[in-house]
Amino acid sequence: MEDLPEALLTEILKRITRTSDLNSLSLVSKQLYKIEGNQRGAIHVGAGLCTATKALTSLCVRFPNLQKVEIDYSGCIPGHGKQLDNKGLFVFSSHCSSLIDLTLSFCSCIDDSGLACLTYCKTLVSLRLNSVPKITSSGLFSVAVGCTSLSALHLIDCEKINSVEWLEYLGRDGSLEELVVKNCRGINHYDFLKFGSGWMKLQKFEFEMERHDRLPGDVVYDSSYDAHSMDIYDFCCESLKVLRLAHIRTWPELGLRVVLGKCKALEKICLEYVHALNDNDMIALSRSCSNLKSIKLWLNLQRYSIDVSDWETRTSFTDNSLYALALNCPMLQVVDLSFTPCSPDWPSEIGFTQQGFLALIQSCPIRVLVLNTANFFDDEGMKALSSSPHLETLELIACFAVTDAGMRFLAHTPCLSHLTLRVCHKVTDVGLAELGRAHKLESLVIEYCGEISLQAAQGVAKSVHYSSKFPDYLMY
């Protein structure tokens, strides 16, 4: 290979994607070693990394064109090897002049002074901090001021961040396009209202607080309250395409619920166990988001007022929300609805009915549909689904009113190619056989459906996954 032109060797190396193969090949000759080192654009290191300054410097010299670096100590036991510290991060920052993307995960030896070293990375575009316990707002402010090219920031489980000067600065700068904050106790959703003009350029925003499993005391939310009737916050987010809010309480103050009526470019929204929202929020969202393509609503039980003296326990939205989506969102293709805390013995706990749900399905070109504990959905609903011209993927989880009769209807769905059934105990081998005779399915997933056998599942689709165990990830 020594006789081959360098350009050809470079092209060969570009086609090799496995890191282990690249490492092996670089040992064949000095020429390959040099070429491979120069073209390596990304490394992922962790417990095996030698943190001595000389070794880190040699690593950076070996790979002078690194653009993406991920340092991950997840799963490491304290005391088993030395972690990268502030000095080590300084080596990376000062030597990797092309660094664009940096991820630090479970780095317990890096604090604000280490983070300040990143100001040397003038090309840094994306920074992800995952469980970096010593980082505070001061370190983030240094990054906000010094990393002038930063456009994506992820903060996950960083518990010492408790003020938002960095957020205000980034808002004034207006450079962020992606902001993700999860489980940072010192940051609440009201703080993001201080982001100001920064919302204008933001294209992706996620905010998740720690999960609240219990119904919040005696709080009764106003089912008629309209947070969008008056525009009391002077900002707009017309570039926002992806929005995810999880485990937040939008009462008694408005907080981030006002964003729902301001996103004209929104294509994907995820609302997971958000408290105090009502139909007015969804109506405002639908009216401003005609480009909406994907919606995920994971809903839990909350208390809503019926009149001045009475209340009911149900999920946040009613059919009025579904009708609004059906009317105003003609591009909606992906729908994911989950009602995991709701009991089939109390159908009124879910604010949606089958009538409202089918109005949405029949009005929009739905390609992907996921229903989890949808107690309103039965075989008549399956019959309506069978005439959906665009439906390609269907996932039913704990839909106990769906039986073999529903499977017979489903066999006639024109474009259905991917089906998942989880914890659907009223579907049996007989119903599955109907699908097998249709010869339409590309893939079939069966998990913890007690009346379906492995033998019946085999052959129904080109690809079959079968498990009799209850999937842990379905637990709320």
In terms of domains, do 72 and 31 share one? no
- Is residue 184 one of the residues assigned to a domain? yes
Query: Which of the four pLDDT bands, split at 50, 70 and 90, describes residue 54?
Result: confident
- Is residue 54 one of the residues assigned to a domain? yes
In terms of domains, do 151 and 167 share one? yes
* pTM for this prediction: 0.89
- Amino acid in position 121: C
In terms of domains, do 86 and 156 share one? yes
- Is residue 334 one of the residues assigned to a domain? no
- Is residue 400 one of the residues assigned to a domain? no
In terms of domains, do 67 and 85 share one? yes
Cα 328 from Cα 184, distance rounded (Å): 35
- Is residue 364 one of the residues assigned to a domain? no
Q: Which residues contact 475 (CB under 8 A, 6 or more apart)?
A: none
Helix (H, G, I), strand (E, B) or coil at 156: strand
Residues, the chain = 476
| Percentage of residues of the chain with pLDDT beyond 70 | 87
Query: Which of the four pLDDT bands, split at 50, 70 and 90, describes residue 355?
Result: very high
Q: Strands 126-130, 101-105: parallel, antiparallel or unpaired by DSSP?
A: parallel
Instruction: Find, among 52, 113, 112, the residue nearest to 83 by Cα.
Output: 52
Cα 147 from Cα 151, distance rounded (Å): 9
- Is residue 457 one of the residues assigned to a domain? no
Q: Where are the alpha helices (DSSP H) in 187-318?
A: 279-288
State the CATH number of the domain containing residue 71. 3.80.10.10
In terms of domains, do 13 and 97 share one? no
Helix (H, G, I), strand (E, B) or coil at 101: strand
In terms of domains, do 33 and 53 share one? no
- Is residue 346 one of the residues assigned to a domain? no
Q: Which residues contact 111 (CB under 8 A, 6 or more apart)?
A: 86, 134, 135, 136, 139
Query: Which of the four pLDDT bands, split at 50, 70 and 90, describes residue 273?
Result: very high
Query: Which of the four pLDDT bands, split at 50, 70 and 90, describes residue 7?
Result: low
In terms of domains, do 24 and 109 share one? no
Q: Strands 302-307, 310-314: parallel, antiparallel or unpaired by DSSP?
A: antiparallel
Output 101 or 212, whichever has higher pLDDT.
101
pLDDT at position 474, please?
56
For the chain, how far is it from start to end, CA to CA, in angstroms? 57
In terms of domains, do 11 and 100 share one? no
In terms of domains, do 96 and 17 share one? no
Looking at every residue in the chain, the average pLDDT score rounds to: 88
String of DSSP letters for 370-434: EEES-TT--HHHHHHHTT-SS--EEEEES-TT--HHHHHHHTT-TT--EEEEES-TT--HHHHHH
In terms of domains, do 3 and 23 share one? yes
Tally of structural domains, the chain: 2
Q: What is the pLDDT of residues 389-412, one digit of tens each?
A: 999 999 999 999 999 999 999 999
Q: Which of 200, 224, 240 is the last residue of a domain?
A: 240
In terms of domains, do 31 and 107 share one? no
Q: Is the model's pLDDT at 322 over the cut of 80?
A: yes
Contact 60, 95 (CB under 8 A): yes
Q: What is the pLDDT of residues 121-152, one digit of tens each?
A: 989 999 999 999 999 999 999 999 999 999 99
In terms of domains, do 31 and 46 share one? no
Structural domain of 31: 1-39
pLDDT at position 53, please?
84
Contact 124, 150 (CB under 8 A): yes
- Is residue 78 one of the residues assigned to a domain? yes
Cα 155 from Cα 205, distance rounded (Å): 12
Q: Which residues contact 439 (CB under 8 A, 6 or more apart)?
A: none
Burial 407-443 (b: 16+ CB within 10 A, else e): bbbbbebeebbbbbbbbbbbbbeebbbbbbeeebbee
